[in-house]
Amino acid sequence: MLSFECDYAEGAHEAVLQHLLETNLEQLPGYGQDRYCDAAKEKIRSACACPDADVFFISGGTQTNQIVIDAMLHPYEGVIAADTGHINGHEAGAVEATGHKVLTILHRNGKLDAGDVRDYLQTFYANDSHWHMVFPGMVYLSHPSEYGTLYTRAELEALSAVCREYHIPLFLDGARLGYALASPGNDVTLPDLAALCDAFYIGGTKVGALCGEAVVFPRHGAPEHFGTLIKRRGALLAKGRLLGVQFDALFTDDLYLRISRNAIAMAQRLKEGLKAKGYPLYMENPTNQIFVILDEAQRSRLSQQVSFSFWETLPDGRTVVRFATSWATTAENVDTLIDLL
């Protein structure tokens, strides 16, 4: 069975595993206080051109979103997100479980639009009864979006400007950030994110690590006692070295970006094959998630030999499915899939 179901089906890049093996018997302090965590944090600060960044490692994306959002909001605040946002549909109510509401806005090609966000905020504060309501206290977005689309630098600048106008933080989910940075359609850099966002994270789980995300708070912007809040949510690893060693490897010799390029190249190869065989794409994007429209016969036949993700059912009964490539996807597997189409 071929697997194109997600971009975390494989384990970890061999350089990450090698670094884990080389450091395995070193006796190191726990809870991320070791020298490899420190080294990885410095490399991330350097890559972001942000020497005053606070950097923390957390085990996974849902934990990261939940902890960051909860830590940065007042108890009476919610978080603005696209209706397709990961925190709204694919995190089992993790944000709501902390007492914060996800305030949704209709997406535009998977993304939030700065004008729509400003309209939401203006409408909220124009209501004389807004003090009875959940306050919009943060803007959350994903880059790439849940549909694989990318924000331009100009779009992020506009969103950042709205957030600063209303004095609320901008938080960027970077679970697939490597695949955004590696895309030829991208004009956003890590230093751009450090300049425009109040918090963002660099995903490792989907980009060459066994697990782990690196949260960056530019300008020493971490909430007070953030490490304690990670612990309180059960997401602080005693063997914090596990995450530090991995990110130390990923941010050595530009490995994070180099391996991300493979996912983009393999996605492009697969798109060309799909188009050549007449399969319609649901939404074009320049990253590693490919959304294809299948009729029932096509879906049933392919599912016998290929794993992929169901996305949605269209009004005409056809199905949108997702094929995802990763840092480890091989050309051989892509070509085998194309032959099966």
- Predicted pLDDT at 333: 98
Q: Looking at this protein, which amino acid is placed at residue 29?
A: P
Nearest Cα to Cα of residue 318 among 281, 264, 287:
281
Domain 14-255 has CATH 3.40.640.10: yes
Please check whether residue 31 is in contact with residue 238, taking contact to mean a CB–CB distance below 8 angstroms: yes
Do 2-7+259-340 and 14-255 agree at the fold level?
A: no
| Domain 2-7+259-340 fold | Aspartate Aminotransferase, domain 1 (3.90.1150)
HSE-CB for 120 with a 13 A CA cutoff: 24
Q: List Cα–Cα distances, 182 to 90, 185, 257, 265, in angstroms.
A: 25, 9, 6, 10
137, containing H or E segment: strand 135-142
- Predicted pLDDT at 207: 98
d(CA 178, CA 51): 21
Task: Please give the sequence-ordered ranges of beta strands (E in DSSP) within 110-237, or none if there are none.
Answer: 135-142, 170-173, 199-203, 213-217
Domain ranges of the chain: 2-7+259-340, 14-255
d(CA 38, CA 40): 6
256-300 pLDDT, tens digit per residue, is 999 999 999 999 999 999 999 999 999 999 999 999 999 999 999
Give the tokens for residue 302. Answer: 């392919």
Share of the chain above pLDDT 70, in %: 100
184-207 pLDDT, tens digit per residue, is 999 999 999 999 999 999 999 999
Task: Please give the sequence-ordered ranges of beta strands (E in DSSP) within 147-245, or none if there are none.
Answer: 170-173, 199-203, 213-217
Average pLDDT over residues 26-34: 97
- Predicted pLDDT at 68: 98
- Predicted pLDDT at 128: 95
Average pLDDT over residues 207-215: 98
- Predicted pLDDT at 162: 98
d(CA 100, CA 91): 13
d(CA 333, CA 324): 12
- Predicted pLDDT at 219: 97
Residue 311 CB neighbour total at 10 angstroms: 18
Give the tokens for residue 173. Answer: 């989910």
97-140 pLDDT, tens digit per residue, is 999 999 999 999 999 999 999 999 999 999 999 999 999 999 99
Please check whether residue 209 is in contact with residue 12, taking contact to mean a CB–CB distance below 8 angstroms: yes
59-87 pLDDT, tens digit per residue, is 999 999 999 999 999 999 999 999 999 99
Residue 187 CB neighbour total at 10 angstroms: 14
The pTM of this model reads: 0.97
Question: With bands split at pLDDT 50, 70 and 90, how would you rate the model's confidence at 49?
Answer: very high
Q: What average pLDDT is seen over the chain? A: 97
Please check whether residue 195 is in contact with residue 218, taking contact to mean a CB–CB distance below 8 angstroms: yes
